[in-house]
Structure 1
Amino acid sequence: MREKKRLAIIGSGVSGLCTFNYLIKEFKLLNVDLNITMYDRNAMIGPGVPYQEDYDVLLLNRHSQQMSVFNEEPDDFWQWYKKKHEVYFSLDEFLPRRFFGQYLNETFHKSLKIAKDKNIYVDVKFDEVVNIQAINDDKFIVTSLKDRTEYDYVILCLGHTKLSDYYELEGNEKFIYDPYPLIKTLNNINDKEDIGILGSSLTSIDVSVVLKERGHQGKIHMLSRNGLLPAVRGNIQPYKLNFFTEETLNELLLKNNNEITLEQIINILSKECQYVGLNLNNMVYKRKHNLTPSQAIESDMKNLNEIGLWQSILMTANDVISEYWYYLNPNDKMVYLKKYERLFMSERNPMPILNAKKILEMLNENRLVVKKGIKDIKIINDQFQAYFKDSEEKYGYIVNAVGSTKYLHKSCRDQLLDHLIEFGTVKLNNYGGIEVDFKSGSIINANGKVNKQLKALGHITCGTYYFTSSVEMISKQAKLISNDILEHMSKIALVSV
């Protein structure tokens, strides 16, 4: 007798799609009838926010040959792109992001065909899920705006949480709370308006280069607390870690009561740098100390081999960084998040050199100014008044580019997360997002109980896994979660025979 199992994936962006693909790919259970339902509030499968149709100047921040929904096939996107008949770009290694969105959609339709061959029923509901109720820990009632359905397994793939709104500007028609897609949100801005962009990270770079392409004539200011721009992507090369490894971590855990310190991680990373002739302090701090934004970009562009080697170390460390983060001393986690994360992430998430050149040109022509030390923003006489330590500025528009919040405070939750937290179905993580079991991605409830049939991946697991937004890490986690669910499904089916 075949056991019927119903599974819901909440969210159909990159994390939801990667999970769906792996469930279909790895499903081999002859005694299970599998029914998968995908939910998404937007009528779109795959691209999510980052990879939807938008300007071609919005580039992938990672080499095209290292982008894939399948962790074991890192060049899957590249192979797909080479078969396309569209115009090739001058620097194919950093393609417009919309291409990856098209690739995501095509992989979904390929998986649908495989699902049909395996007799897996797939349903897609463009509907917003507002609550999930656990029944005896092995059944779940998923409530959406349109219906209520019972499932055996639920996977939360919610993408990014609500964006931060530090100055409580949401609701004002000239405050662009969510900037993407820029082709729509910037379309109605008069080209003579003065614009303030909140933040100075990669989203701010996107907004700035699009305004440049549109020929914007008003002033463009990045409003930042620290004024730190992302590094320029250097010449990335294959790299094998020598010290920052799982073996080193295991040795330290045996000696230190199953935890490590921030100082130990810094020492290991410093040793890794020294091995290839780099100085960690120079790479992270001294290289940009007291430099203006334009000088920092120029410095990076003069040293593309050196910073490329440094970035190669950081990229290769993706394989072990979650383990190091997981075992890091709790106090040191807080110290890192407060003092070092912004600096480290500016190195870890660099901008493509094409866009770096555009930003440098804008800075040198005074078309773009990075204003650091932002304190507050008020709305006065239908304009935005920004207050800095020693000055004030007025803007006609403010574009929010600060990204999603790590911490799910009441004001940062949507209706679904609010219900899950309120009823104890999930538990907040002290370092961001919700608590999940490190080995399986299973959600931990308010009583500390692990539910093997309720999973989460992506940004809402950032407190457990740290790096959760790169496609590489998402696909790795999606494979882990899918295999764990299929193994659990197999055991349950055997018991019921």
Structure 2
Amino acid sequence: MRVRAMDIAIVGGGAAAVGLLDALAGRTGRTGAINVFEPSAQLWRGRPYGPDLDAVRVNAPPANMSIRAGDSGHYSAWLGTRSTEYVDELLGEPLIPRALYGDYLAHTAEKAVASLAEQGRQVRVVAARVTGIDRAGGRPVLRTDGAHGQEYEVGQVALCLGGGVPQDLYGLAGQPDFIADPYPLAAALDHVPPESDVTVIGSGLTAVDVVVSLAARGHQGRITLVSRGGVLPFVRQRANGRRPRHVTTERVAQLHQAQGRLTLDDLISLLRTELAEAGEDFDTLTAELLGAGGAADPVRRLREQLAAVDDPHIGRRVLQQTAHTVGPCAWPLLGASDQGRLRRHLRTAVGLASPMVPMNASVLMRLLDSGQLTFASGLRAIERTGGRGFRVRDDDGVRTASLVVNA
């Protein structure tokens, strides 16, 4: 059966969909129905922002997490005085539980849907998974799954799919004592024995969430973060109120218009100017970043970065901020060779653009100092043993784990 007369189809009902609905609600004078396709029960919250442990926090302060374009205070205004309950003392800003951020997303979506209805634009949620998109006479046609799957002919399609679940790189799906997806952590970790040896695959923000959540639940067993590169995210620094003056979307657009192209060297030149104006050196910054991208001594690096939360140097702050503002503008303007140069440092770039918060870094540091948490790099394989548990092969040889969490 084919359904017609739909203006927009939004595939996915998480945070990106909320941002789109909020923007559409602010653009009056338009017509047409909107369908949101989302099979999950966690409508508007996406995979990370459903009900969970209070220890699982959003990895950025409220000013960085507004869902409304052009209004960085939208989320803070919604929080009101509740934000004072969750201040990270090292950062000097509130870090809100993911579940509470999910409440904000749901509230914003519901207000957008009501506003669109007042404008004569109905928003319908279809609890089905989209399995394909075809063309019919120039218009997209969406197919949904299930015994009663339907086709939907639409004017426009917006893909709001999120980051997806962790890949099963070692073929462990379905094995006992293997947690394929750690979110929500409250449910995923509920049956982890407190004395068990836990291996966490990965060393990014999701892996940090797993470790912090285990600690919050009083886990007593050994925890090992094991990955191919052994690189932790950077630690977020306290905001200093300074906004970039040279590494901006306006300057990137001007360079592109004047030259007809944009190069990585152009962006480096802007950053050099930004740093020089603050009395800092580009080469010193890059040496620090490239050193942090190696696998040697992540414990020492974590300790140094925790000590540098209040460091006055602006370099990392500029890169962190502009990765999210200038990055989406600059990336498609770069040539393939320059994009390739940046991709070679992808892990460092991701860890810098999306750093862990100091409160989580402090938990990791405490567990490392006590010996309960260890790192291993050069991950090659994880295999099920003949009995219970797993064999983990990495640069340090072979270790065992009673339980593996995929992060």
Q: What TM-score results when the alignment is normalised by the length of structure 1?
A: 0.73
Give CA-to-partner distance per residue, 1:135-185, whole Å, 9 cap, x none. 122242433423323222222111123422221222213221111001011
For 1:368 and 1:63, the matched residues in 2 are separated by 27
Query: Which residue in the other structure is 2:402 paired with?
Result: 396
Distance 1:308 1:195, change over 3 A: farther
Distance 1:9 1:387, change over 3 A: same
Structure 1 counterpart SS, 2:382: strand
For 1:41 and 1:18, the matched residues in 2 are separated by 19
Structure 1 residue 326 corresponds to structure 2 residue 332? yes
Query: Which residue in the other structure is 1:93 paired with?
Result: 94
- The Cα shift of 1:288 comes to 7.8
For 2:254 and 2:24, the matched residues in 1 are separated by 35
Is 1:135–1:141's contact at 8 Å kept on the other side of the alignment? no
Distance 1:385 1:5, change over 3 A: closer
Query: Which residue in the other structure is 2:279 paired with?
Result: 277
Distance 1:116 1:238, change over 3 A: same
Is 1:224–1:373's contact at 8 Å kept on the other side of the alignment? yes
- The Cα shift of 1:254 comes to 6.1
**What one-letter code is carried by the residue in structure 1 that aligns with 2:400?**
K
Is 2:58–2:98's contact at 8 Å kept on the other side of the alignment? yes
For 2:157 and 2:293, the matched residues in 1 are separated by 46
What is the aligned counterpart of 2:80 among 71, 79, 82? Answer: 82
Structure 1 residue 387 corresponds to structure 2 residue 388? no
Is 2:376–2:395's contact at 8 Å kept on the other side of the alignment? no
Any residues of structure 2 matched to 1:158-237 within 5 Å, and which?
Answer: 158-237=161-240
For 1:250 and 1:93, the matched residues in 2 are separated by 34
- Which ranges in structure 1 are unaligned for 5 or more consecutive residues? 402-497
What is the aligned counterpart of 2:381 among 360, 376, 381? Answer: 376
Is 1:12–1:39's contact at 8 Å kept on the other side of the alignment? yes
What is the aligned counterpart of 1:242 among 219, 241, 245? Answer: 245
- The Cα shift of 1:371 comes to 0.8
Distance 1:287 1:224, change over 3 A: closer
**What one-letter code is carried by the residue in structure 2 that aligns with 1:208?**
V
- The Cα shift of 1:248 comes to 4.4
Structure 1 residue 268 corresponds to structure 2 residue 273? no
**What one-letter code is carried by the residue in structure 2 that aligns with 1:47?**
R
Structure 2 counterpart SS, 1:239: coil
What is the aligned counterpart of 2:57 among 56, 59, 69? Answer: 59
Is 2:230–2:295's contact at 8 Å kept on the other side of the alignment? no
For 1:167 and 1:139, the matched residues in 2 are separated by 37
Query: Which residue in the other structure is 1:460 paired with?
Result: none
**What one-letter code is carried by the residue in structure 1 that aligns with 2:158?**
I
Any residues of structure 2 matched to 1:341-380 within 5 Å, and which?
Answer: 341-380=346-385
Query: Which residue in the other structure is 1:305 paired with?
Result: 310
Query: Which residue in the other structure is 2:71 paired with?
Result: 73
For 2:385 and 2:257, the matched residues in 1 are separated by 59
Query: Which residue in the other structure is 2:20 paired with?
Result: 19
Is 1:294–1:364's contact at 8 Å kept on the other side of the alignment? no
Query: Which residue in the other structure is 2:149 paired with?
Result: 147
Is 2:165–2:181's contact at 8 Å kept on the other side of the alignment? no
For 2:255 and 2:232, the matched residues in 1 are separated by 34
Query: Which residue in the other structure is 1:133 paired with?
Result: 134
For 2:75 and 2:5, the matched residues in 1 are separated by 34
- The Cα shift of 1:122 comes to 1.9
Give CA-to-partner distance per residue, 1:28-79, whole Å, 9 cap, x none. 13xx4x2111111102221111211111111111111332111121111111
For 2:48 and 2:153, the matched residues in 1 are separated by 31
Give CA-to-partner distance per residue, 1:433-483, whole Å, 9 cap, x none. xxxxxxxxxxxxxxxxxxxxxxxxxxxxxxxxxxxxxxxxxxxxxxxxxxx
Q: CA RMSD in A?
A: 2.5
- The Cα shift of 1:247 comes to 5.1
Is 2:231–2:293's contact at 8 Å kept on the other side of the alignment? no
- The Cα shift of 1:130 comes to 1.5
- Which ranges in structure 2 are unaligned for 5 or more consecutive residues? none
Give CA-to-partner distance per residue, 1:220-246, whole Å, 9 cap, x none. 000022221111111112333233234
Give CA-to-partner distance per residue, 1:191-227, whole Å, 9 cap, x none. 1221111111111110001111112122100002222
Percent identical: 24
- The Cα shift of 1:100 comes to 0.8
For 1:72 and 1:254, the matched residues in 2 are separated by 24
Is 1:384–1:395's contact at 8 Å kept on the other side of the alignment? yes
Give CA-to-partner distance per residue, 1:80-139, whole Å, 9 cap, x none. 11166x982344621111111001111111122212221222211222121222212224
For 1:227 and 1:25, the matched residues in 2 are separated by 44
- The Cα shift of 1:351 comes to 1.1
Is 2:262–2:334's contact at 8 Å kept on the other side of the alignment? yes
Structure 1 counterpart SS, 2:326: helix
Q: What TM-score results when the alignment is normalised by the length of structure 2?
A: 0.89
**What one-letter code is carried by the residue in structure 2 that aligns with 1:125?**
V
Query: Which residue in the other structure is 2:37 paired with?
Result: 39
Distance 1:176 1:289, change over 3 A: closer
Structure 2 counterpart SS, 1:374: coil
For 1:117 and 1:55, the matched residues in 2 are separated by 37
For 2:248 and 2:72, the matched residues in 1 are separated by 21
Distance 1:162 1:204, change over 3 A: closer
Query: Which residue in the other structure is 2:48 paired with?
Result: 50
Is 2:275–2:314's contact at 8 Å kept on the other side of the alignment? no
